[in-house]
Amino acid sequence: MENSRRIKDLLYEQVARIGKAASSPKRLELIELLCQGEKSVDTLAREASISMKLASAHLRELRSARLVDTEKQGKNVVYRIANRAVAEFWVSIRSLAEDRLVELKMALAQLTSDPGALMPQDRESLVKAAKKGDLVVLDVRPSAEYEAAHLPYAQSMPIDELRSRLAELPQGKTIVAYCRGPYCLMAVDAVNLLKQQGFEAIHLPEGVAEWGIAPVRTAAKTAYPSSL
């Protein structure tokens, strides 16, 4: 009986390693960033608005829990999520928090002042309309993230280039903008800019992590991170 108790305690202790590794808000943000594709430490530090030293420390904790992997590429070391299960973990824990925490729901509501700017998450309809050319799907993340993974029929137009490339967008069609998921503000900013310029624009809260978990069954050649 005592031996069984020790084994059971050990099992829970090992599972708790995942919870401990994900107990930091910045580590969760790093996981979300890595769901977009592999990145170097300096890129992760810049995008998470933390120092290189702190980013490295957080990444060591994530690697210790086997949530991320590394690879030497020339003089640089790049990080990537260990496998698709890590993306599933991120989306699941975030969804649970959104379901249970009123404070989180209130914070999310502040991301857009126009509820009508949010796209109903009907993936099949979105893919069919994009395939037919009835709407335009814009990926406003950095181009490297688009190359690593993107939604079906999406075209890359990073938020920093959007204003200078407005002439490339067709008039009279709905523009659907997305970025890294519901906590990313790039798509919100893109929709605001497009509306100011007279376009009909909608924000799609989902990103490649959400779509990579349960991709739409379509003949489209869609890119998802190999680790997903």
Catalytic sites, residue numbers:
179
DSSP-derived secondary structure for 44-107: HHHHTT--HHHHHHHHHHHHHTTSEEEEEETTEEEEEESSHHHHHHHHHHHHHHHHH-HHHHHH
DSSP 3-state of 175 = strand
CA distance 188 to 54: 28
Those residues with Cβ within 8 angstroms of residue 101's Cβ, 6 or more apart along the chain or in another chain:
none
